[in-house]
Structure formats: structure tokens, C-alpha cells
Structure 1
Amino acid sequence: MKPIKTLVLLANDAHARLFENHGPGKGLSEIEDLAASVLAEADIRYADRPGRSSAAPGMAQHAFADQAEAEHDQAQAVFVKAVLAETESRFAEGGFERFVLAAAPSTLGVLRAGLPARLEKALVVDVAKDFVKLKPAEVVERLAGDIVL
């Protein structure tokens, strides 16, 4: 019987790691370690300042957020887009059947919003925890209640 291959993505705001699993009890082997340095290759176009809004009729306008928060949100969105593109490519090339996602809560929402249809269909578990710094065996242990790897 052919083992079920699972692709596992661990991510936070600035770091992501991809692992593969070849069936129950086989553990995880790391495929790729993606850091924010991935963005060096991306064509990034940041807004020069936060958006503005007119709250009521009249001439007054108000900024939505401070500059640092706007830059963080834009950098996170670009990083997540690059990570999802790489993950989708690996998923298609590797013949995976299942997809597992574990990410820091703030990153998980952005990942879910941008998840390509192929990965969304294969998603079996998503966990709002930052496991990026854990060893593969520790990740398997932490996910044991949700999925057998």
C-alpha cells in the first residue's frame, strides 16, 4: 500500500519551514527553510504612507494607522504570498495528498486568507501555534492530538 504523503508548513511573521511526511510513524524531514530573506528576490512595492479616510462630510481626513504598523502589515503580506507560492509549488511537484499548517496566530489568519485552492482542498489540520523553532520530533509530538505523522 502506498503511504500518504503530507506536506507540513510551519510559519510566523518572518520565518517558515516546510517538512514532508511519508506516512504514520515516519516523522518529519525538512525540505526547506524560508526566512524573510526570501523577500530579497521578490518585487516588493510598499505604499509610501498609510491610507487616509474622511470620517464625516467635510474637509478633514484621518490616517488609518501609524507608519510602522503599515510597513509591518505590508511586509507580512508579501512574505506570506512568497511562502504560499513556494508551498504550492512544492505540493504540486512532490505528489503530496495532505497539507498541515501550523502558524503563529497573527500569521495564520493571513495564510488562511491567501491559501490557494489546491492547498485549501488538501488542508487536514491547521493550528494557531508558532512551532517554527521546534525540532521535527517535537513538532510531531505537538501535533499528535490532531494528526499522526
Structure 2
Amino acid sequence: MDTVWIVVADAARARIFTCEGRACQGMHESETLSHSESRAHNQDLVSDRPGRSWSSASGDARHAMQDSTDPAANERNRFARQVAERLKSAHNDGTFKKLVIVAAPSFLGALREMLDPTVAHSVTAEVAKNITKSTDATTLRKHLPDFLY
């Protein structure tokens, strides 16, 4: 029987559930990854405010410069990379054959970009929902298709 991993994630937490077969029997949580920096506010993630610059060579008005990147997006991408690396390692070890991803829509996009092509090939279903706070496997199972592959 093929082992299925179900990753339930958002930008700050990823829960990994395992089960066996197409009908996903005996689902249980096997691992949790967390990234507390994704819960921080932008002002807590940057060390300083952006500088100020002159509007033009002849003008005397000054304007605040904008950040070149969004600190929260950087942390989300950093965690997506961490989750993708964990999935790649497990896939290379043969820990799972099929993968189902249930993630908040913005994190799902970031995770898709970070997945190794061989791992992406093992993805059989994606659900764009943030249900990381669901407490048990029974609640999670209600959000999944009847057969996972």
C-alpha cells in the first residue's frame, strides 16, 4: 500500500499527517514544523525604517523611500522553502509515495514555487484552505476528496 503524506500549512505552521492507501485509512499527525517569524508584525521584522530622499535635484521636498520587499512575504517564502526541503528529503528517503497539500492560498502558491520537480510530481491533490487550526484528523478528512489518488 502507498503511504500518503498530507501537509496542512500556512505561513507559520505546517502539520504533516500520514495515512495509507487511496481512501487514507488510519490518518494520524506525524510531524509539525513551525516558523514563528511569520507571525511577527512587519515593524518587528525590519531593523530600521526606510530612509528618505530628495524628490529631485532642484526641489527641496523629501519623501520616504519604500521598502524594496515585503518582510512578511520574505518570511513566508523562507518557511515555504523549509517545508519544501523537508518534503524533498522525505520523498528521497521513500517515506511517502503520494502527497496532498492543504494550505492557505497565498502559502500554497509560495510552496508550489519551492517544490522540487520530483516532489511536485507526487502531488495528487491540492486544497486552497487554511485549516491548520483544525484539531483532529477527522475534521481534516472532511476537507479532502474521498479518494486521494
TM-score class normalised by the smaller sequence? 0.7 to 0.9
**What is the CA RMSD across the aligned residues, in angstroms?**
3.1
Q: Which moved more, 1:8-17 or 1:21-30?
A: 21-30
What corresponds to 1:55 in structure 2? none
Q: Deviations over 1:93-122 (max 9, x none)?
A: 244211111100110110111111111111
- TM-score, L = length of structure 2: 0.73
What corresponds to 2:27 in structure 1? 28
What corresponds to 2:141 in structure 1? 140
- Contiguous gaps of at least 5 residues in structure 1: 40-45, 52-57
Q: Residues 95 and 34 from structure 1, CA distance in 2 versus in 1: closer, same or farther, beyond 3 angstroms?
A: closer
Contact 2:125 2:148 survives alignment (8 Å): no
Distance 1:118 1:8 in 2: 16
Q: Residues 75 and 25 from structure 1, CA distance in 2 versus in 1: closer, same or farther, beyond 3 angstroms?
A: closer
- TM-score, L = length of structure 1: 0.73
**Which protein is richer in strand relative to its size?**
2
Q: Residues 113 and 14 from structure 1, CA distance in 2 versus in 1: closer, same or farther, beyond 3 angstroms?
A: same
Q: Residues 25 and 32 from structure 1, CA distance in 2 versus in 1: closer, same or farther, beyond 3 angstroms?
A: closer
What is the count of residue pairs matched by the alignment? 132
- Contiguous gaps of at least 5 residues in structure 2: 39-44, 51-55, 58-62
**Which protein is richer in helix relative to its size?**
1
Percent identity between the aligned chains?
A: 24
Distance 2:141 2:106 in 1: 22
Distance 2:139 2:28 in 1: 12
